[in-house]
């Protein structure tokens, strides 16, 4: 049987591009997201390539996470690959102007959500003595920038969790890969700027940003390496980017 991957945040951006890449390569899919209509549409599109099921829940809701993942029956319960992708940035403000609601969402989705999903997937991997976990971090997890302190803190959390998971899970035959993208042109900035498309588009102006497909390529590479190889950490920039806040624009 082909592998099974569970992808969070599968309805857009990196999650969706990864789902498509996996489907084209016959990896069966458990697509997770909050938007049922988008989940069902993607399921319809990808079912011609591979078996697909969907779980509609919010990663920040621990009861819903538990119910949905533990409720997976045959043939979906043996998850080989977990892609912890759900999350995002909310606001880009000086700390003194930061909104507590934005902080809550970033900590709830980017850190707690990742932990909740992992909590209910990892025991099966341990039991089977195999598995691959891909945590989607960010350059913001490696470098803190002004106005992004809480987002950076949440992604630093992801970096720490990836390292901790690797320390604890390698003895169980589970490989953990942390992927830290720089600027990727997805809905990321539109969400960060609360729907302000003009502001969001400026982030990707006058250079070629990464596309979700570029990150999906790297994720597929990481899950497809030989069994004795573990890609522990990957930082991916567009060619024009040199650190979190330095981008060479034409």
Site of interaction with ligand 8X3 (CB under 6 A): 138-140, 182-183, 188, 244
Pairing relationship of beta strands 4-7 and 81-84 according to DSSP bridges: parallel
Q: Determine which one of 151, 204, 207, 220 is catalytic.
A: 151
CB of 243 to ligand 8X3, least distance (A): 9
CB of 86 to ligand 8X3, least distance (A): 13
CB of 79 to ligand 8X3, least distance (A): 25
Cβ proximity to ligand 8X3, 10 vs 183, nearer residue: 183
Q: How far is CA 108 from CA 80, 122, 140, 152, in A?
A: 25, 20, 17, 14
The number of C-alpha atoms within 13 Å of 3 and in the hemisphere containing its C-beta is 19
Q: State yes or no: is 151 an active-site residue.
A: yes
CA neighbor of 148 nearest in space, from 183, 124, 172 = 183
Q: Which residue is nearest to ligand 8X3 (CB)?
A: 138
- Across 41-79, b (16+ Cβ under 10 Å) vs e yields ebbeebeebbbbbbbbbbbbbbebbeebbeebeeebebb
Cβ proximity to ligand 8X3, 131 vs 182, nearer residue: 182
Alpha carbons 118 and 59: distance in angstroms, whole number? 10
| Maximum C-alpha span of the chain | 53
CB of 97 to ligand 8X3, least distance (A): 18
Cβ proximity to ligand 8X3, 22 vs 237, nearer residue: 237
Alpha carbons 82 and 78: distance in angstroms, whole number? 11
Cβ proximity to ligand 8X3, 157 vs 182, nearer residue: 182
CB of 108 to ligand 8X3, least distance (A): 17
Cβ proximity to ligand 8X3, 54 vs 137, nearer residue: 137
Pairing relationship of beta strands 241-243 and 174-181 according to DSSP bridges: unpaired
Active site residues: 151
């Amino acid at each position: 049987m082909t592998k099974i991957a569970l992808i969070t945040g599968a309805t857009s951006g990196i999650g969706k591009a990864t789902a498509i890449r996996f489907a084209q390569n016959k990896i069966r899919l458990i697509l997770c997201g909050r938007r049922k209509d988008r989940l069902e549409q993607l399921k319809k599109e990808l079912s011609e390539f591979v078996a697909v099921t969907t779980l509609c829940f919010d990663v920040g809701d621990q009861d819903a996470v538990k119910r949905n993942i533990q409720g997976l029956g045959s043939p979906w319960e043996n998850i080989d690959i977990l892609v912890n992708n759900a999350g995002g940035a909310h606001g880009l403000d000086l700390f003194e102007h930061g909104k507590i609601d934005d902080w809550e969402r970033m900590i709830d989705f980017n850190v707690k959500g990742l932990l909740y999903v992992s909590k209910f997937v990892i025991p099966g991997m341990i039991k089977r003595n195999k598995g691959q976990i891909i945590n989607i971090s960010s350059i913001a997890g490696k470098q803190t920038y002004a106005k992004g302190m809480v987002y950076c803190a949440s992604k630093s959390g992801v970096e720490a969790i990836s390292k901790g998971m690797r320390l604890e899970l390698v003895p169980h035959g589970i490989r953990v890969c942390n992927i830290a993208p720089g600027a990727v042109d997805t809905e990321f900035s539109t969400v960060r700027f609360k729907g302000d498309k003009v502001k969001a588009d400026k982030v990707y102006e006058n250079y070629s940003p990464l596309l979700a497909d570029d990150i999906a390529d790297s994720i597929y590479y990481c899950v497809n390496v030989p069994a004795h190889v573990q890609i522990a950490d990957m930082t991916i920039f567009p060619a024009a980017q040199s650190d979190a806040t330095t981008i060479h624009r034409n």
